[in-house]
Amino acid sequence: MDGYTMVFTETTTRLTHAGAIEMVTAAIAKAEEIGQPQCIVVVDASGETIAELRMSGAKYLSLKSARTKARTAASNRTPSANIPEAIRVGIVGATQNHVTALPGGLPIVIADECIGGIGIGSGSGDQDIAVANAALAAIGATEF
């Protein structure tokens, strides 16, 4: 490799559709275990949806919030609930509702690299986070 290639390119790890399906499957299992149907959204590092599912009985509007949680976590590389209190209202308006501070969005981090986000919605914040962490564990990603 010449010096220019090393300066102008980088190698990245990407989440595959198989990984996303594994995450959704684990999330469903955890949601069934706790008795709370959930909306589950997995996005890549750019915020594009790889997989999404609304379990039977989950609130249909929670699919939208789950997608926003996943994108927030992937974009900020931190749990969605970590948005600082002082900017929560302003950032929602500034991003046209594309960022949320609701709990349940977690970044997908493998070997210190954020490769996407998962958003869970329809339960309490604690339930959403538990389901998201089960999905992360299924692929060996860092749990929060």
Q: pLDDT of the chain along its 144 residues, tens only?
A: 566 666 788 888 999 999 999 999 999 999 999 999 999 999 999 999 999 999 999 999 999 999 999 999 999 999 999 999 999 989 888 998 899 999 999 999 999 999 999 999 999 999 999 999 999 999 999 999
For residues 88 and 133, give the distance between their C-alpha atoms in angstroms, rounded to a whole number: 23
Q: What residues contact 41, with CB distance under 8 A and at least 6 apart?
A: 49, 51, 52, 63, 66, 67, 69, 70, 118, 119, 120
| pTM to 2 decimal places | 0.93
pLDDT, position 2:
61
pLDDT at 4: 63
